[in-house]
Amino acid sequence: MKVLALRVLALGLALAAGQALAQTSPAPLPTWDKLTPQQREALIAPVRDRWNREPEDRARMLERAQRWQAMTPEQRAQARHGMKRFEDMSPGQRREARALYGHMKTLTPEQRNALREQWKKMTPEQREAWMRDNAPPPRDRDRRPEH
DSSP 8-state assignment for residue 88: T
Cβ–Cβ < 8 Å for 47, 5: yes
CA–CA dist 47, 53 (Å, integer): 10
Find the radius of gyration of the CA atoms of the chain: 20
Cβ–Cβ < 8 Å for 3, 83: yes
Q: What is the pLDDT of residues 24-75, one digit of tens each?
A: 567 888 999 999 999 999 999 999 999 999 999 999 999 999 999 999 999 9
Q: Residues 6, 40, 38, 33: is their CA dihedral positive or negative?
A: negative
pLDDT at 7: 58
CA–CA dist 124, 81 (Å, integer): 26
What are the structural domain ranges in the chain? 1-88, 90-147
User: Residue 45: how many CA atoms within 13 Å on its side-chain side?
Assistant: 8
Q: What is the pLDDT of residues 66-108, one digit of tens each?
A: 999 999 999 999 999 999 999 999 998 888 888 888 888 889 9
